[in-house]
C-alpha cells in the first residue's frame, strides 16, 4: 500500500502546520500523567527503591546546612574563643553526610535509568502491538517515517524525561519540603519573604508552560514530517536520480528542514525564558532574606550561625523551584512526545469481528460480490453496483486502466476495507459474519510490491507456511522456477537476504514471493500484478506452473499484460469503478468492445 505523501490531500492530513494526530482524542496534561503513571506503576519495587534512595540522599544532603550553622555558632566572636570539638564533630558529620548522599544519588540514578528503560521497552511493545491491530487504511493515511519517528524519537524523549526530569522533580519536592521545615524551625518571620516570591514563580511558570506546550507539539510534528520525507526520498533514490531531480528534492528537503528547525528554535527559545526569569525572582528573594535576616541579627532575634543556615536552606528552597522551571521546556517536549505516543497506541483499531462471527473452515472457494458500492472517502464512491461471481476452482482476471478499481476489489475480498453497500460473500456467507483471521487465512496473496525480510531464503519462502519442511520449500521454489537460481548461490537456501533483498533482482524477488504463496493450503489465491517484474518468457513459465499447482483453487488475477490471461475462466473488465464487460477472452474479443480495444492497443505496442 502506498503511504501518504508529504503534500497529501489536506482532507486526510490536515493543514501543513497541523500536528499529525493518530487518534481523534486530544490528551490533557493530567491524562498524560496518569498514563505515564500506569507504566511506572508496573515497576513498583523499583519505584519504592527509588523513593527510598531519593529521600535518604536528600535528607543527608539537607542535614549539612544545619551542621554548618552549629559549627559557626561554636565560634564566640566576642570572646575570641572557638569550640573546636564541636566544629570538628560538625565537619566530620557534614563530610560523612555528603559522601553517603553522593553514593545514594549515584544508586538512585542507576535505578531510574533502569526504570525508564523498562518503561520505554513496554511503550515500544505497546506501540507495535497497536500497529498490528490497526486497519490497512491507517497505513494508507500516515507516512511510515512519521510512525517510525514516534517509535524512536518520541519514545526516547519520554524516556529521557523519566530518567532525568522525573528524578529531579522528585528530589526537588523533598528538598523544598525539608528546607521549608528547617527554615520554619530557625526563623519563622523570614518565611514572609517567600509569601510573595513563590506565588510569583508558580504563576509565571504556569503561564509559560501553557504558552510553550503547543510549540513543542508542533516541533514533534515537524520532526516527524521531516523523518517521513527523508524515508520517502531514500526509498526512491533510483527514481530521483533517473529523472535528475536531485536539486528539486534538495530544495524540498531544505523547506522541510527549515520548518523543523524553526519549530525547534521557537519551542526552545520560549522554553528557556523560564530559567533566567525564575532565577531573577529567586535572587530577589535571597537578597530580601539577607537584608531582613541582618536586621533580626542586629536585634538579637537570631544567631549568626542560624542566619547562615537559613540562607543556605533558602537557596536550597529556591534552587529546586529554579531547577523545575528550567526543565519546564523539557517537560513540555516530553508531554508533546507522550501525546503522540499515546495517540498511536490509542489509534482506533480495526473494527472487531461481530460477536457472532464464525471461523471459515473447509472452504469451497465460491466468491461473490453482490451489488457492491464502496469509497475510501465517504464523499466519493469508487466502486458502483459491482457484481462478480467466481466459482470454486475458477480463474478470474480483473483488468482495466489505472484507477479503474482493480486493487480496490482485492482490498474488499481480503476485507482490508468493508463495503459501503452490498455484500461480499464466500461460500454464500457474508464476510462480515466471518472472523477476519480465518477469512484471510483462506487466501494466499502475491502483491506487485514484493516484501522480503532479513533472513535466509528458506525462511523467506517458509514464511507462507510456518514449520514448512525443506522439501516443501524446494518443491515450491521449483514450481516458481527459482530453484536453479537459488542453487547457484554460495549457501543455497541458507543464503541470507538483507535490506529487503537488494542483493537480488526484482524479478527474482517476485519469484521468491510467488514460491512463498505456493506453500499455504489455501483455497483462494490473489495475484495483484504478481508477474510485473519478470520477463515475458519467465512469466509464461510461471503461469503454466501456477495453473498446475493451483488446480482446484479459486484464483483472482490482476494483470496489465492481457496476453497472460487468455486462459482465464472469466474476465472482469472494469472502468471508473464499474464493470463494463464480462466474459472469456474469446467472447470479449468477438464483442469488439472495451476489452478488445485494450487488447489490440496493447498487442500493437508489445
User: What percent of the chain has pLDDT above 90?
Assistant: 5
The per-residue pLDDT of the chain, averaged, comes to: 79
Calpha distance 154→159 (Å, rounded)? 9
Taking 50 as the threshold, does the pLDDT of residue 2 lie above it? Answer: no
CATH superfamily of 27-345: ABC transporter type 1, transmembrane domain (1.20.1560.10)
Task: Let me know: does 351 contact 379? Beta carbons within 8 Å.
Answer: no
* Ramachandran assignment for 524, one of left (phi > 0), alpha (psi -120 to 50 degrees), beta (any other): beta
**Cell 514460491 appears where?**
515
Three-class SS of 206-255 = HHHHHHHHHHHHHHHHHHHHHHHHHHHHHHCHHHHHHCCCHHHHHHHHHH
**Cell 504556569 appears where?**
206
Calpha distance 483→495 (Å, rounded)? 13
Instruction: Return the DSSP state at 25.
Output: P
Confidence band (pLDDT; 50, 70, 90) for 424?
very high
User: Where is pLDDT greater, at 461 or 58?
Assistant: 461
Could you tell me the three cell numbers for 173? 519536592
Confidence band (pLDDT; 50, 70, 90) for 80?
low
pLDDT of residue 7: 33
Taking 50 as the threshold, does the pLDDT of residue 3 lie above it? Answer: no
Which stretch of 67-71, 395-399, 430-434 has the lowest confidence by average pLDDT? 67-71
In DSSP terms, 395 is beta-bridged to: 555
pLDDT of residue 543: 66
Calpha distance 293→295 (Å, rounded)? 5
pTM, two decimal places: 0.65
pLDDT of residue 4: 36
Taking 90 as the threshold, does the pLDDT of residue 308 lie above it? Answer: no
Confidence band (pLDDT; 50, 70, 90) for 534?
low
379 φ, ψ (degrees, to nearest 5): -90, -10
Taking 70 as the threshold, does the pLDDT of residue 107 lie above it? Answer: yes
Nearest to 476 by CA among 522, 447, 511, 432: 511
pLDDT of residue 530: 61
Taking 70 as the threshold, does the pLDDT of residue 582 lie above it? Answer: yes
pLDDT of residue 549: 60
Task: Let me know: does 270 contact 295? Beta carbons within 8 Å.
Answer: no
For 208-264, the pLDDT digits (tens) are 777 777 887 788 778 878 877 887 777 677 667 766 777 888 888 888 888 888 888
356-442+555-606, what's its fold? Answer: Rossmann fold (3.40.50)
Which stretch of 43-52, 88-97, 197-206, 491-500 has the lowest confidence by average pLDDT? 197-206
Helices within 74-193 (DSSP H only): 84-133, 136-141, 144-149, 155-160, 166-186
Q: Which secondary structure element, helix H or strand E, spans residue 455, and what is its range?
A: strand 455-456
24 burial type by CB count under 10 A (0-12 exposed, 13-18 middle, 19+ buried): exposed
Alpha carbon separation from 504 to 100, 448, 528, 543 (Å, rounded):
61, 16, 21, 22
pLDDT of residue 323: 66
Which stretch of 145-154, 386-395, 496-505 has the lowest confidence by average pLDDT? 496-505
**Cell 529487503 appears where?**
500
496: Cα separation from own chain's centroid? 28
Q: Which secondary structure element, helix H or strand E, spans residue 72, and what is its range?
A: helix 44-73
pLDDT of residue 36: 84
Give the residue-averaged pLDDT of 496-511: 73
Calpha distance 151→157 (Å, rounded)? 10
**Cell 531531480 appears where?**
245
Give the residue-averaged pLDDT of 118-136: 87
Taking 90 as the threshold, does the pLDDT of residue 26 lie above it? Answer: no
Could you tell me the three cell numbers for 416? 482490508
For 447-503, the pLDDT digits (tens) are 777 778 888 899 889 887 888 899 999 988 888 888 988 999 888 999 888 765 556
- For 322, residues 6+ apart whose C-beta sits below 8 A from its C-beta are 275, 278, 279, 282
What SS3 class is residue 555?
Answer: strand
First to last CA, the chain: 28
Domain ranges of the chain: 27-345, 356-442+555-606
pLDDT of residue 25: 62
User: Where is pLDDT greater, at 543 or 73?
Assistant: 73
Amino acid at each position: 500500500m502506498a503511504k501518504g505523501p508529504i503534500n497529501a490531500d489536506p482532507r486526510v492530513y490536515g493543514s501543513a502546520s497541523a500536528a499529525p494526530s493518530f487518534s481523534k482524542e486530544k490528551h490533557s496534561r493530567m491524562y498524560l500523567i496518569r498514563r505515564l503513571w500506569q507504566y511506572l506503576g508496573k515497576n513498583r519495587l523499583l519505584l519504592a527503591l527509588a523513593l527510598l534512595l531519593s529521600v535518604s540522599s536528600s535528607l543527608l544532603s539537607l542535614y549539612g546546612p544545619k551542621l554548618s550553622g552549629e559549627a559557626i555558632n561554636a565560634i564566640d566572636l566576642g570572646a575570641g574563643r572557638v569550640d573546636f570539638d564541636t566544629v570538628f564533630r560538625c565537619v566530620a558529620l557534614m563530610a560523612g553526610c555528603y559522601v553517603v548522599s553522593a553514593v545514594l544519588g549515584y544508586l538512585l540514578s542507576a535505578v531510574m535509568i533502569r526504570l525508564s528503560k523498562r518503561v520505554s521497552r513496554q511503550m515500544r511493545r505497546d506501540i507495535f502491538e497497536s500497529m498490528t491491530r490497526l486497519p490497512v487504511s491507517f497505513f494508507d493515511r500516515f507516512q511510515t517515517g512519521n510512525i517510525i519517528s514516534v517509535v524512536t524519537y518520541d519514545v526516547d524523549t519520554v524516556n529521557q524525561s523519566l530518567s532525568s526530569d522525573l528524578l529531579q522533580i522528585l528530589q526537588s519536592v523533598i528538598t523544598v519540603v525539608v528546607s521549608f521545615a528547617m527554615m520554619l524551625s530557625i526563623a519563622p518571620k523570614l518565611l514572609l519573604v517567600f509569601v510573595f516570591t513563590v506565588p510569583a514563580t508558580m504563576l509565571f511558570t504556569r503561564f509559560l508552560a501553557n504558552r510553550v506546550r503547543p510549540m513543542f507539539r508542533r516541533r514533534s510534528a515537524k520532526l516527524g514530517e521531516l523523518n517521513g520525507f527523508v524515508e520517502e526520498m531514500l526509498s526512491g533514490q533510483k527514481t530521483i536520480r533517473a529523472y535528475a531531480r536531485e536539486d528539486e528534492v534538495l530544495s524540498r528537503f531544505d523547506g522541510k528542514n527549515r520548518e523543523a528547525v524553526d519549530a525547534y528554535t521557537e519551542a526552545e527559545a520560549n522554553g528557556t525564558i523560564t530559567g533566567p526569569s525564575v532565577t531573577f525572582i529567586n535572587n530577589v528573594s535571597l537578597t530580601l532574606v539577607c537584608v531582613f535576616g541582618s536586621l533580626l541579627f542586629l536585634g538579637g532575634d537570631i544567631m549568626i550561625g542560624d542566619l547562615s543556615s537559613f540562607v543556605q536552606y533558602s537557596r536550597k528552597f529556591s534552587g529546586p523551584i529554579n531547577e523545575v522551571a528550567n526543565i519546564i521546556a523539557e517537560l513540555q517536549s516530553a508531554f508533546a512526545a507522550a501525546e503522540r505516543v499515546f495517540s498511536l497506541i490509542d489509534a482506533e483499531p480495526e473494527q472487531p469481528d461481530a460477536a457472532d462471527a464464525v471461523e471459515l473452515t473447509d472452504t469451497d472457494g465460491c466468491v461473490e460480490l453482490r451489488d457492491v458500492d464502496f469509497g475510501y472517502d465517504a464523499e466519493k464512491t469508487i466502486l458502483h453496483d459491482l457484481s462478480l461471481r467466481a466459482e470454486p476452482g475458477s480463474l478470474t482476471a480483473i483488468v482495466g486502466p489505472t484507477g479503474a478499481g482493480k486493487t480496490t476489489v482485492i482490498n474488499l475480498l481480503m476485507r482490508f476495507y468493508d463495503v459501503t453497500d452490498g455484500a461480499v460473500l464466500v461460500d454464500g456467507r457474508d464476510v462480515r459474519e466471518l472472523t477476519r483471521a480465518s477469512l484471510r487465512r483462506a487466501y494466499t496473496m502475491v502483491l506487485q510490491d514484493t516484501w522480503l525480510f532479513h533472513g535466509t531464503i528458506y525462511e523467506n519462502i517458509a514464511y507462507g507456511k510456518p514449520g514448512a519442511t525443506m522439501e516443501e520449500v524446494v518443491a515450491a521454489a521449483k514450481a516458481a522456477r527459482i530453484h536453479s537460481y537459488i542453487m547457484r548461490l554460495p549457501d543455497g537456501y541458507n543464503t541470507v537476504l538483507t535490506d529487503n533483498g537488494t542483493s537480488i533482482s526484482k524479478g527474482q524477488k517476485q519469484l521468491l514471493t510467488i514460491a512463498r504463496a505456493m506453500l499455504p493450503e489455501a483455497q483462494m489465491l490473489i495475484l495483484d500484478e504478481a508477474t510485473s517484474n519478470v520477463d515475458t518468457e519467465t512469466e509464461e513459465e510461471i503461469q503454466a506452473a501456477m495453473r498446475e499447482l493451483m488446480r482446484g483453487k479459486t484464483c483472482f488475477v490482476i494483470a496489465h499484460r492481457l496476453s497472460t490471461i487468455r486462459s482465464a475462466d472469466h474476465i472482469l473488465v472494469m472502468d471508473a469503478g464499474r464493470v463494463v464487460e464480462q466474459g472469456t477472452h474469446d467472447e470479449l474479443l468477438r464483442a469488439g468492445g472495451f476489452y478488445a480495444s485494450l487488447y489490440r492497443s496493447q498487442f500493437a505496442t508489445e
